[in-house]
Chain A
């Protein structure tokens, strides 16, 4: 067991909670407005070929809804679950990008971000199991 400064730990968790919660919401919302980027270029033709035809044209908004919900979960009292959900979701996105090929710069960034979310989930878990 180790004793750490509770105040610093809480500041770290609270900051991460709001940043890591708000960013998926912002990215999810952009799936409807396409202000940041045209997200259709990140949909793998291989992945799309396995999806039902009715879903394919709506895949980007569906992804957006998933990201908004995940962000809201992080901001709610289920922060740990939300963090792991976004980490898992990033894993799916990385696999999707691999099947497109050539987007290795984005894949690298997404791996770093995935680890960030997983770390955040572990930190919340550590706090939940900590003693005063």
Chain B
């Protein structure tokens, strides 16, 4: 067992909760609803994504699911939301890998890091939930 500073731990956890909860929501809002053409200046990526979006309802489901998981993180089930987001990100990486060209590997790599960030947040929440007070 390890005795740690509760105030610092809670501060860290709260910041992570808001960032990782808001990240999928903001991404979906910005990407899909408000200004899709302003978000990215990569014509190839935009065109590919729009075409993929219109041809594949799975992407729409993916975007809706990620906002719901973001809401879960912000509300009553942060751990479950984090693990679900990690799982969804893994699926997204696989879809991106099968759909996009080599030039999109950067996005897959950043998604890969984000997967671990969500798993870390889930484990952090688990540690918080199972912690004992001293």
Contact = CB atoms under 8 A, between A and B. Distances in A.
A102 interface: yes
Nearest to B27: A108
A115 B117 contact: yes
Interface residues on A, range: 35 or more
Interface of A is mostly: helix
A38 B103 contact: yes
A20 B39 CA distance: 27
Contacts of B27: 105, 108
A26 interface: yes
Contacts of B19: 111-112, 115
Interface of B: 1-6, 8-9, 12, 15-16, 19-20, 23, 26-27, 30-31, 38-41, 102-103, 105-107, 109-114, 116-117, 119-121, 123-124, 126-128, 130-134
Interface of A: 1-6, 8-9, 11-12, 15-16, 19-20, 23, 26-27, 35-38, 100-106, 108-113, 115-116, 119-120, 122-123, 125-127, 129-132
Given A2-B132, A4-B1, 14 more contacts: A2-B3, A4-B2, A6-B2, A12-B123, A12-B124, A38-B103, A102-B38, A102-B39, A119-B117, A119-B120, A127-B2, A129-B4, A131-B2, A132-B2
